[in-house]
Structure 1
Amino acid sequence: MDVDLRKLRYFVAVAEELHFGRAAARLHIAQPVLSRQIRALEGELRAQLFRRDRRSTELTDAGRQLLDDARPLLASADGLRRRVATAARGSAAFTVGFMPGITVTEAVRELAGRHPGLAVELVRTTWDDQVDVLHDGRADVSVVRLPIDRRGLTVRPLFREPRVAVLRADHRLAGKDAVLVGDLTDEHLLNDPDAVPEWRDIAVEFREGAAPVRRGFGSVEEKLEHVAAGRGIAVIPLSTSEYYTRADVVHVPVEDLPPNEVCLAWIAARRSRLVYEFAEIFETLVPADREDA
């Protein structure tokens, strides 16, 4: 059975919205058309994907499984289109994704110097899309911070670096040479708590009742604004805190947190000579004072 990518895109829209009307508006199609396409997909897969009543739409177990599998499949299809379109234009381009605080300038210059006709581009990533840019073809390689979903990727370790607590400048712990996770138990953490499980497991606000609702941050700058406003603290890699310096926040090493691991990642199925060459270049340029991953 061939899977229709268009139907998969329709399914993902409904699965993310959990509302056929909103999904239809997002897709710019009529709701009856969307409903027919979803029923056709369910018929092809011989599985019910949604439970619907007058008040709600929910994914079934089969629907949740399809959503997990459909997103990377659609991203790979998008990436294929981008790469074919680039090849058809006859343009030679190579794009590097990088996370905040990580400098790729020297490696990019070296690669460009070796290949004068190659346009080496850069795309800044976040925790949310550092892997997506590989699957959807926006980047050929991405310098990532673990943890990530490694499925379909080759991941090459580069180095580790300490993590620090970022605090408002007048915070009670500001000026300390270092702190322990236990010193932060009374604090409100602006990170996703799952990213710092050592804090989550002992935090006062989790012991006292339901975990507080946390909103996502689109950038490091936004997170630092909240720290400076006294709305909480953040735990970030040392290089990120050093890159985004400002007078109203300080960083303090957290001695008993494991280091953040930085790696280079790319689509495992790709056999691009440039990918391997860039990986070798980057590895040779890792500063000697960085801890080997």
Structure 2
Amino acid sequence: MDLDLRRLRYFVALAEELNYRAAAQRLHLAQPVLSRQIQTLERELGAQLFLRSTNGTRLTAAGEQLWKDAVALLASADGLRRRVGAAAGTTRTFTVGFMPGLTVTAATRGLADARPDVSVEVLRTDWTDQVEVLRDGRVDVGFVRMPIDLTGLSTVHLFAEPHVAVVPVGHPLAGRGAVDIADLAADVLLQSADAIPEWTAIPGHEAHHGPTPAALSVEQKLEWVAGGRGFSVLPQSVADYYRRPDIAALPLRDVAPNEIRLAWLTDHRTPIIDEFISLARDSFTKDATPQ
């Protein structure tokens, strides 16, 4: 049986919306058409993917598994289309992803100078898509901030930098030197705690969660901090780059440094990626803060 990628896209939309009407509107389909396509997919797979009841629509165990696999499969298909399209063009493009706070000009300029036949582009990423842009082919390599899901990826370590807590300038701790994360235990953390195990180790931290969903962009985090809604933990270079007068940065003594790596798809390593790895390593020294 060959899977129909179009039906997989319909399935993913419904899995994300868990509402047939909303998914149909998102896909610009009539709701009965979407229902028939999902039913056809279920017959092809021999498994029920959704349960519908008066309480709404939810995924079955089989649906949960398909959702996990389908997202990766569709991203891979998108990446294949982009790479074939790029190969068919007269000018080759090499795109580099980078996270906030990182300046990657030295490496990208070095590649552009060494490869005048290649158009070197950059794409700013964030915590939500720094891996996705690699998997779907929008970038060839990415400067990523750990931790990430390394499935199907290869990486090289570039450097690590300390974390800081950013608080409103009027916060009682503002102006002090380094602090421990426990010193902020009475404050609200304005981001997901998953990447900050030192925070989750504090007894009772659950009572100090910020808004749901948590802020994802740096800009949104800083707006919330400046508004007195809580604090956020950022890599030092990010706090430096987004410095503003209504926010203070406090060095954190007991939060592990943030590691920056260069990442690429393991199955798509090429000579030009090898060349860029060397340029990236030359651009950053271990444990140095980027300039």
| TM-score bin, normalised by smaller chain | over 0.9
**1:212 CA drift (Å):** 5.2
- Amino acid across the alignment from 2:285: P
Match of 2:284 among 266, 283, 286: 286
Are the equivalent residues in 2 in contact too, given 1:161–1:238 (CA < 8 A)? yes
Partner deviation per Cα, 1:221-270 (whole Å, 9 max, x = no partner): 22111111111100010111111111111111110111111111111110
Aligned residue number for residue 259 of structure 2:
261
Aligned residue number for residue 232 of structure 2:
234
**1:181 CA drift (Å):** 1.4
Match of 1:246 among 225, 244, 247: 244
Tell me, in whole angstroms, the C-alpha distance in 2 between the residues paired with 1:212 and 1:229: 13
Aligned residue number for residue 189 of structure 2:
189
Q: TM-score, normalised by structure 1?
A: 0.94
Tell me, in whole angstroms, the C-alpha distance in 1 between the residues paired with 2:112 and 2:139: 16
Are the equivalent residues in 2 in contact too, given 1:184–1:199 (CA < 8 A)? no
**Consecutive unaligned residues in structure 1, runs of 5 or more:** none
- Percent identity over the alignment is 53
Tell me, in whole angstroms, the C-alpha distance in 1 between the residues paired with 2:167 and 2:194: 20
Aligned residue number for residue 88 of structure 2:
88
Tell me, in whole angstroms, the C-alpha distance in 2 between the residues paired with 1:137 and 1:47: 31
Aligned residue number for residue 105 of structure 2:
105
Tell me, in whole angstroms, the C-alpha distance in 1 between the residues paired with 2:108 and 2:121: 8
Partner deviation per Cα, 1:40-85 (whole Å, 9 max, x = no partner): 1111111111111244100001100111111011011111111111
Q: TM-score, normalised by structure 2?
A: 0.95
Aligned residue number for residue 2 of structure 1:
2
**1:203 CA drift (Å):** 5.6
Tell me, in whole angstroms, the C-alpha distance in 2 between the residues paired with 1:207 and 1:136: 37
How many residue pairs get aligned? The number is: 289
Tell me, in whole angstroms, the C-alpha distance in 2 between the residues paired with 1:75 and 1:50: 22
Tell me, in whole angstroms, the C-alpha distance in 2 between the residues paired with 1:273 and 1:257: 37
**1:198 CA drift (Å):** 1.5
SS at match of 2:25: helix
Partner deviation per Cα, 1:20-52 (whole Å, 9 max, x = no partner): 111111111111111111111111111111111
**1:137 CA drift (Å):** 1.1
Aligned residue number for residue 60 of structure 1:
60
**1:112 CA drift (Å):** 0.4
SS at match of 2:143: strand
**1:110 CA drift (Å):** 0.4
SS at match of 1:120: strand
**1:2 CA drift (Å):** 1.5
Aligned residue number for residue 180 of structure 1:
180
Aligned: 1:33 with 2:33: yes
Aligned: 1:70 with 2:64: no
- Amino acid across the alignment from 2:218: V
Partner deviation per Cα, 1:193-220 (whole Å, 9 max, x = no partner): 2222221332645258xx5543343521
**1:149 CA drift (Å):** 1.1
Tell me, in whole angstroms, the C-alpha distance in 2 between the residues paired with 1:223 and 1:41: 41
SS at match of 1:279: helix
Aligned residue number for residue 13 of structure 2:
13
Aligned residue number for residue 153 of structure 2:
153
Alignment of 1:110-189 (within 5 A): 110-189=110-189
Tell me, in whole angstroms, the C-alpha distance in 2 between the residues paired with 1:273 and 1:220: 34
- Indicate how the Cα distance of structure 1 residues 213 and 18 shifts in structure 2: closer, same or farther if over 3 A, else same: same
| Worse overlay, 274-283 or 84-93 | 84-93
- Amino acid across the alignment from 1:107: A
- Amino acid across the alignment from 1:65: Q
Aligned residue number for residue 50 of structure 2:
50
Aligned: 1:24 with 2:6: no
Tell me, in whole angstroms, the C-alpha distance in 2 between the residues paired with 1:207 and 1:128: 25
- Amino acid across the alignment from 2:52: R
Tell me, in whole angstroms, the C-alpha distance in 1 between the residues paired with 2:87 and 2:286: 38
**1:289 CA drift (Å):** 5.4
| C-alpha RMSD over aligned residues | 1.6
